[in-house]
Amino acid sequence: MTDKHYLKVIFKEQNFKKEDLEIIFNQYERIEFAKNDFLIKEGSTANFYYFMESGFARSYVIDLEGNDISTKFFSSEDIVIDWHSYFLKTKCRENIQAITACVAWKITFENFMKLFNIEAFREVGRTRLVNNYFELKNHSVSIIADPAKDRYLNLLKSKPDIVQNVPLKQIATYLGITDTSLSRIRKEISSNK
Protein backbone atom coordinates (compact mmCIF):
# COMPACT_ATOMS: atom_id res chain seq x y z
CA MET A 1 0.00 0.00 0.00
CA THR A 2 1.26 3.50 -0.85
CA ASP A 3 2.18 5.76 2.05
CA LYS A 4 -0.77 8.04 2.78
CA HIS A 5 1.22 10.43 5.01
CA TYR A 6 0.44 13.36 2.72
CA LEU A 7 -3.32 12.84 3.11
CA LYS A 8 -2.85 13.02 6.89
CA VAL A 9 -1.39 16.49 6.34
CA ILE A 10 -4.41 17.57 4.26
CA PHE A 11 -7.01 16.33 6.72
CA LYS A 12 -5.10 17.32 9.88
CA GLU A 13 -7.25 20.20 11.12
CA GLN A 14 -10.55 18.42 11.22
CA ASN A 15 -12.05 16.24 13.90
CA PHE A 16 -12.11 12.98 11.99
CA LYS A 17 -12.80 9.65 13.56
CA LYS A 18 -10.01 7.16 12.90
CA GLU A 19 -12.33 4.87 10.92
CA ASP A 20 -13.50 7.84 8.80
CA LEU A 21 -9.93 8.74 7.93
CA GLU A 22 -9.28 5.17 6.81
CA ILE A 23 -12.35 5.29 4.53
CA ILE A 24 -11.29 8.68 3.14
CA PHE A 25 -7.67 7.67 2.51
CA ASN A 26 -8.76 4.53 0.66
CA GLN A 27 -10.66 6.63 -1.92
CA TYR A 28 -7.55 8.53 -3.05
CA GLU A 29 -4.92 7.27 -5.46
CA ARG A 30 -1.39 8.65 -5.77
CA ILE A 31 -0.44 9.79 -9.28
CA GLU A 32 2.62 11.39 -10.82
CA PHE A 33 2.69 13.88 -13.68
CA ALA A 34 5.75 14.78 -15.75
CA LYS A 35 6.45 18.37 -16.68
CA ASN A 36 3.93 19.52 -19.35
CA ASP A 37 1.49 16.63 -18.70
CA PHE A 38 -2.15 17.67 -18.64
CA LEU A 39 -4.17 17.05 -15.50
CA ILE A 40 -7.29 18.30 -17.29
CA LYS A 41 -7.68 19.23 -20.98
CA GLU A 42 -10.00 21.82 -22.44
CA GLY A 43 -13.01 20.13 -24.03
CA SER A 44 -12.87 17.07 -21.77
CA THR A 45 -14.99 16.38 -18.69
CA ALA A 46 -13.17 16.42 -15.35
CA ASN A 47 -13.47 12.98 -13.79
CA PHE A 48 -10.97 13.60 -10.99
CA TYR A 49 -9.87 16.27 -8.66
CA TYR A 50 -6.42 16.27 -7.16
CA PHE A 51 -4.68 17.28 -3.97
CA MET A 52 -1.25 18.53 -5.03
CA GLU A 53 1.48 16.98 -2.89
CA SER A 54 4.44 18.50 -4.71
CA GLY A 55 5.25 20.38 -7.87
CA PHE A 56 3.56 23.22 -9.71
CA ALA A 57 0.71 23.34 -12.22
CA ARG A 58 -1.39 26.05 -13.80
CA SER A 59 -4.72 26.50 -15.47
CA TYR A 60 -4.87 28.53 -18.65
CA VAL A 61 -7.08 29.46 -21.56
CA ILE A 62 -6.32 30.52 -25.11
CA ASP A 63 -7.88 33.94 -25.74
CA LEU A 64 -9.53 35.10 -28.97
CA GLU A 65 -6.17 36.28 -30.36
CA GLY A 66 -4.54 32.90 -29.67
CA ASN A 67 -2.63 34.04 -26.56
CA ASP A 68 -2.01 31.62 -23.71
CA ILE A 69 -3.40 33.28 -20.52
CA SER A 70 -2.75 31.79 -17.05
CA THR A 71 -5.84 31.81 -14.83
CA LYS A 72 -4.53 30.08 -11.67
CA PHE A 73 -1.44 28.42 -10.24
CA PHE A 74 -1.38 25.31 -8.06
CA SER A 75 1.27 24.17 -5.60
CA SER A 76 1.56 21.90 -2.57
CA GLU A 77 -1.70 21.35 -0.63
CA ASP A 78 -3.83 23.03 -3.30
CA ILE A 79 -6.87 21.36 -4.81
CA VAL A 80 -6.50 21.08 -8.57
CA ILE A 81 -10.00 21.03 -9.98
CA ASP A 82 -12.31 22.44 -12.59
CA TRP A 83 -15.24 22.85 -10.18
CA HIS A 84 -17.85 23.37 -12.89
CA SER A 85 -16.84 20.37 -14.97
CA TYR A 86 -16.26 18.03 -12.01
CA PHE A 87 -19.62 18.65 -10.35
CA LEU A 88 -21.87 19.48 -13.31
CA LYS A 89 -20.20 17.14 -15.83
CA THR A 90 -19.72 19.89 -18.40
CA LYS A 91 -16.79 20.27 -20.79
CA CYS A 92 -13.74 22.06 -19.35
CA ARG A 93 -13.03 25.49 -20.79
CA GLU A 94 -9.48 25.59 -19.41
CA ASN A 95 -6.41 23.40 -19.54
CA ILE A 96 -4.63 22.43 -16.34
CA GLN A 97 -1.03 21.48 -17.03
CA ALA A 98 2.00 20.53 -14.94
CA ILE A 99 4.69 23.24 -14.96
CA THR A 100 7.10 20.88 -13.18
CA ALA A 101 6.98 17.20 -12.30
CA CYS A 102 4.08 16.79 -9.84
CA VAL A 103 2.84 14.28 -7.33
CA ALA A 104 -0.88 14.41 -6.59
CA TRP A 105 -3.66 12.37 -5.01
CA LYS A 106 -6.74 11.91 -7.16
CA ILE A 107 -10.29 10.97 -6.34
CA THR A 108 -13.12 10.12 -8.72
CA PHE A 109 -16.44 11.93 -8.55
CA GLU A 110 -18.17 8.70 -7.50
CA ASN A 111 -15.73 8.11 -4.63
CA PHE A 112 -15.94 11.77 -3.61
CA MET A 113 -19.74 11.50 -3.35
CA LYS A 114 -19.41 8.35 -1.20
CA LEU A 115 -17.48 10.42 1.35
CA PHE A 116 -20.15 13.10 1.63
CA ASN A 117 -21.92 11.23 4.43
CA ILE A 118 -18.86 12.02 6.63
CA GLU A 119 -19.66 15.41 8.18
CA ALA A 120 -16.02 16.46 8.72
CA PHE A 121 -15.22 15.63 5.08
CA ARG A 122 -18.14 17.79 3.91
CA GLU A 123 -16.82 20.64 6.06
CA VAL A 124 -13.30 20.38 4.56
CA GLY A 125 -14.83 20.45 1.07
CA ARG A 126 -17.08 23.41 1.88
CA THR A 127 -14.20 25.40 3.39
CA ARG A 128 -11.95 24.75 0.40
CA LEU A 129 -14.70 25.68 -2.07
CA VAL A 130 -15.42 28.95 -0.25
CA ASN A 131 -11.70 29.80 -0.03
CA ASN A 132 -11.31 29.04 -3.73
CA TYR A 133 -14.22 31.32 -4.54
CA PHE A 134 -12.78 34.20 -2.49
CA GLU A 135 -9.36 33.76 -4.11
CA LEU A 136 -10.92 33.87 -7.58
CA LYS A 137 -13.10 36.88 -6.69
CA ASN A 138 -10.16 38.80 -5.19
CA HIS A 139 -8.05 38.11 -8.27
CA SER A 140 -10.84 39.25 -10.63
CA VAL A 141 -11.31 42.51 -8.73
CA SER A 142 -7.58 43.06 -8.43
CA ILE A 143 -7.08 42.77 -12.22
CA ILE A 144 -9.57 45.63 -12.63
CA ALA A 145 -8.88 47.82 -9.59
CA ASP A 146 -5.21 47.43 -8.56
CA PRO A 147 -2.06 48.72 -10.22
CA ALA A 148 0.10 45.99 -11.80
CA LYS A 149 2.86 46.49 -9.23
CA ASP A 150 0.40 45.87 -6.37
CA ARG A 151 -0.90 42.72 -8.08
CA TYR A 152 2.66 41.42 -8.35
CA LEU A 153 3.52 42.31 -4.73
CA ASN A 154 0.35 40.57 -3.55
CA LEU A 155 1.28 37.42 -5.47
CA LEU A 156 4.82 37.62 -4.08
CA LYS A 157 3.43 37.89 -0.55
CA SER A 158 0.69 35.27 -0.82
CA LYS A 159 2.45 32.68 -3.01
CA PRO A 160 6.23 33.27 -3.03
CA ASP A 161 6.80 29.67 -4.17
CA ILE A 162 4.88 30.43 -7.39
CA VAL A 163 7.02 33.48 -8.15
CA GLN A 164 10.19 31.42 -7.59
CA ASN A 165 9.16 28.38 -9.65
CA VAL A 166 6.88 29.51 -12.48
CA PRO A 167 8.06 31.08 -15.76
CA LEU A 168 7.71 34.88 -15.71
CA LYS A 169 5.72 34.89 -18.95
CA GLN A 170 3.02 32.76 -17.29
CA ILE A 171 3.01 34.98 -14.19
CA ALA A 172 2.67 38.08 -16.39
CA THR A 173 -0.43 36.74 -18.15
CA TYR A 174 -1.95 35.82 -14.77
CA LEU A 175 -1.36 39.39 -13.60
CA GLY A 176 -2.86 40.78 -16.82
CA ILE A 177 0.36 42.46 -17.96
CA THR A 178 3.11 41.88 -20.53
CA ASP A 179 6.32 40.11 -19.55
CA THR A 180 8.17 43.37 -20.36
CA SER A 181 6.03 45.22 -17.80
CA LEU A 182 6.63 42.47 -15.25
CA SER A 183 10.40 42.70 -15.81
CA ARG A 184 10.23 46.46 -15.28
CA ILE A 185 8.22 46.02 -12.05
CA ARG A 186 10.65 43.41 -10.74
CA LYS A 187 13.61 45.64 -11.57
CA GLU A 188 11.98 48.61 -9.80
CA ILE A 189 11.23 46.53 -6.68
CA SER A 190 14.75 45.14 -6.62
CA SER A 191 16.38 48.59 -6.96
CA ASN A 192 14.24 49.92 -4.06
CA LYS A 193 15.57 47.29 -1.65
**Any residues with CB less than 8 A from the CB of 160 and at least 6 apart, and which?**
none
- Distance CA(165)–CA(73), nearest Å, equals 11
Domain boundaries, the chain: 5-119
Q: What is the pTM of this model?
A: 0.89
5-119: CATH homologous superfamily?
A: Jelly Rolls (2.60.120.10)
**Any residues with CB less than 8 A from the CB of 70 and at least 6 apart, and which?**
58, 59, 60, 170, 171, 173, 174
User: Within 10 A of 94 (CB to CB), how many other CB atoms are there?
Assistant: 20
pLDDT in tens, the chain (193 residues): 356 778 888 887 557 888 888 899 999 999 999 999 999 999 999 999 999 999 999 999 999 999 999 999 999 989 999 989 999 999 999 999 999 999 999 999 999 999 988 888 888 888 888 998 899 899 999 999 999 999 999 999 999 999 999 999 999 999 999 999 999 999 998 888 6
